[in-house]
């Protein structure tokens, strides 16, 4: 009996050790998984009855039930100096499409929606919903409230990734926007007017829409694809990537950042804008395709910013009128106005005057046909582009180039860690061993994004800088930053590190 008992005890201890080791490995592995991989693990472990497309019976109850628990309400607060998200020009053009603006004296407030995509609190929303926000409050479908911090943003696609401190949250299953079809039923789920979980239905009325709204207020932005209109000067480019899914599902103020789901309850788009003269629904809504969003969100989580490849051309969309002006016979495609010196297009052999006709064998009719495809790729990836030159097709394998990182420098508290983190206005990535050796530091995180009007921007701490300590506490991760900024003395925050050229800095500012 003693021998049997000893055997059972040994088996029990061994099993416990194995289970503990497995859990440690599982957690470490999970940190490196993409959102799509995390979701596969989640839905494998949490099996539910398959949702069958309900278009035949026009019954959307199952799809709505699958999506609504993971759609959240987002309220943002801005200081009077920042004056909201800075989208006044866009609001004048399209109405108050981006959420409820409530002008008032003192701090300004706005609102929008978001979609939980990971059980550990990652939420996708629009950049314009959280841009320049001092405080972000998230209300979940079960009426819990959290403060959120901005992990990173991508103004080029109008996407942002924020995070709340919570676990075991409901999520929306990521779908495949490439498989959506014009005429397909979809649901728009959001929180307009602070109404919990509003669902509207409609069809997809078009795909690949470029409505010229992202970045329209700033002509100085750069673009990996090129300008879509003739402009004077060199090939300065506009980074905006628009390939919207157009739907007639009712989208109203406050829907921005909400979910566009198919009849299986799968997320196929992030609601972004409405085209309206009144600021309310008039029949046209636009959503960012989820397949484009996947790349952006995974990059932000992994690198702190989006790693985007550049083709290196500026172009004009062809139509009969433009073709006549340029003296070309083709009325479809993208006319190459110029190529960026040293860019991927020039190195591959594409020339000014070529007409981009196909990308990866797919016909190109407008800029979005190229933009969305290239927007999913990384620097160093190759893309096959077919051009028309002298009436003949020529194929080129273009290696996408990375964007140049700027290196020149031209910063008693009761606020939460999330609010202070958002005030910093930056995204971070842990240093590699090689980077620590380069800067001769034992700890540090690299600045991968700096948002305008925030502390890092005001103190001219550029992308590529290294933060080694905050209030003399060594920094190696975002979690270390959270700890450091919640332990302030006299409201002072001291940030130390190195600029990209290796020069040391030591900045102190007063938290207000």
- Predicted local confidence at residue 165, as pLDDT: 94
Spacing of C-alpha 204 from chain mean position: 22
Q: What does the alpha-carbon distance between residue 317 and residue 323 come to, in Å, rounded to a whole number?
A: 9
Out of 96, 134, 158, 480, the active site residue is: 158
- Predicted local confidence at residue 502, as pLDDT: 87
Burial profile 191-209: b = 16 or more Cβ within 10 angstroms, e = fewer: bbeeeebbbbbbebbebbb
- Predicted local confidence at residue 170, as pLDDT: 96
Q: Which residues pair with 129 in a beta bridge?
A: none
- Predicted local confidence at residue 78, as pLDDT: 81
Residue 415 and residue 392 in contact, taking contact as beta carbons nearer than 8 Å: no
pLDDT (tens digit per residue) in 293-332: 999 999 999 888 888 888 988 888 888 888 888 888 888 8
Across 81-197, where does the E strand assignment appear? 101-102, 108-116, 122-126, 135-139, 145-154, 159-164, 185-190
- Predicted local confidence at residue 412, as pLDDT: 41
DSSP three-state, residue 320: helix
Class of residue 21 by CB neighbours under 10 A (exposed 0-12, middle 13-18, buried 19+): exposed
DSSP, residue by residue, 24-92? HHHHHHHHTS-HHHHHHHHHHHS--PPPPP-TTTT--HHHHHHHGGGEEEEEEEE-TTT-TTS-HHHHH
- Predicted local confidence at residue 470, as pLDDT: 86
Out of 96, 111, 113, 128, the active site residue is: 128
* Known catalytic membership, residue 143: no
Residue 189 and residue 61 in contact, taking contact as beta carbons nearer than 8 Å: no
Residue 373 and residue 359 in contact, taking contact as beta carbons nearer than 8 Å: yes
Residues in the chain where the model's pLDDT stays below 70: 1-30, 51-57, 80-107, 193-195, 212-239, 274-282, 403-415, 487-491, 510-512
Quick one: which H or E segment has residue 343?
A: none
Burial profile 6-17: b = 16 or more Cβ within 10 angstroms, e = fewer: eeeeeeeeeeee
Spacing of C-alpha 224 from chain mean position: 16
**What letter would DSSP give residue 257?**
T
Q: What does the alpha-carbon distance between residue 342 and residue 474 come to, in Å, rounded to a whole number?
A: 40
* Known catalytic membership, residue 277: no
DSSP three-state, residue 196: coil
Out of 111, 156, 243, 256, the active site residue is: 256
Quick one: which H or E segment has residue 201?
A: strand 198-209
Q: How far apart, in Å, do the first and last CA atoms of the chain sit?
A: 70
**What letter would DSSP give residue 277?**
S
* Known catalytic membership, residue 178: no
Residue 207 and residue 290 in contact, taking contact as beta carbons nearer than 8 Å: no
Rg from Cα positions in the chain: 25
Q: What does the alpha-carbon distance between residue 440 and residue 77 come to, in Å, rounded to a whole number?
A: 39
Distances (CA, A) of 349 to 21, 308, 315, 356, 387: 53, 21, 16, 13, 10
For 347, what's the count of Cα atoms within 13 Å in the CB-facing half-sphere?
12
* Rounded to 5°, angle at Cα 88 from 87 and 90: 70
- Predicted local confidence at residue 81, as pLDDT: 55
DSSP three-state, residue 456: helix
Residue 283 and residue 370 in contact, taking contact as beta carbons nearer than 8 Å: no
């Amino acid at each position: 009996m003693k021998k049997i008992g000893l055997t059972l005890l040994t088996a029990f201890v061994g099993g416990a050790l194995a289970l503990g080791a497995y859990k440690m490995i599982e957690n470490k592995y999970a940190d490196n998984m993409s959102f799509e991989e995390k979701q596969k693990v989640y839905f494998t472990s949490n099996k539910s009855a398959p949702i069958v497309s309900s278009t035949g019976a026009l019954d959307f109850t199952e799809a709505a039930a699958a999506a609504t628990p993971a759609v959240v309400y987002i309220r943002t607060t801005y200081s009077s100096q920042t004056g909201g998200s800075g989208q006044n020009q866009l609001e004048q053009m399209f109405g108050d499409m981006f959420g409820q603006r409530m002008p008032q004296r003192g701090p300004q407030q706005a609102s929008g929606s978001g979609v939980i995509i990971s059980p550990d609190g990652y939420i996708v929303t629009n950049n314009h919903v959280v841009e320049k926000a001092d405080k972000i409050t998230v209300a979940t479908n079960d009426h819990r409230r959290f403060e959120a911090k901005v992990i990173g943003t991508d103004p080029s696609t109008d996407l942002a990734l924020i995070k709340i401190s919570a676990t075991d949250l409901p999520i929306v299953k990521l779908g495949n926007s490439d498989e959506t079809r014009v005429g397909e039923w979809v649901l728009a789920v959001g929180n307009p007017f602070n109404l919990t979980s509003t669902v509207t239905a409609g069809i997809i009325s078009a795909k690949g829409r470029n409505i010229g709204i992202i970045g329209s207020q700033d002509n100085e932005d750069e673009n990996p694809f090129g300008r879509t209109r003739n402009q004077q000067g060199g090939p300065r480019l506009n980074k905006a990537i628009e390939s919207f899914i157009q739907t007639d599902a009712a989208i109203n103020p406050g829907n921005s950042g909400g979910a566009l789901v198919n009849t299986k309850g799968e997320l196929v788009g992030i609601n972004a804008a409405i085209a309206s003269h009144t600021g309310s629904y008039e029949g046209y809504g636009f959503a960012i395709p989820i397949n484009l969003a996947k790349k952006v969100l995974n990059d932000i989580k992994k690198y702190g910013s989006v790693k985007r490849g550049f083709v290196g051309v500026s172009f004009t969309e062809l139509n009969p009128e433009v073709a006549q002006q340029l003296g070309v016979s083709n009325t479809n495609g993208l006319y190459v106005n110029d190529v960026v010196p040293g860019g991927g297009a020039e190195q591959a052999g594409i020339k000014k005057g070529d007409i981009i006709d196909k990308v990866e064998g797919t016909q190109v009719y407008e800029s979005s046909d190229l933009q969305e495809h290239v927007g999913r790729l990384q620097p160093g990836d190759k893309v096959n582009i077919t051009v028309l030159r002298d009436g003949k097709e020529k194929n080129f394998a273009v290696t996408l180039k990375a964007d140049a990182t700027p290196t020149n420098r031209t910063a008693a508290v009761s606020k939460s860690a999330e609010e202070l983190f958002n005030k910093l206005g930056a995204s971070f990535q842990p240093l590699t061993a090689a980077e620590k050796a380069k800067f001769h530091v034992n700890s540090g995180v690299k600045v991968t994004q700096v948002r305008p009007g925030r502390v890092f921007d005001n103190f001219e701490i550029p992308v590529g800088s290294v933060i080694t300590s905050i209030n003399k506490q060594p920094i190696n991760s975002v979690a270390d930053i959270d700890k450091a900024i919640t332990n302030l003395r006299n409201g002072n925050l001291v940030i130390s590190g190195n600029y990209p050229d290796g020069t040391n800095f030591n900045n102190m500012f007063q938290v207000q």
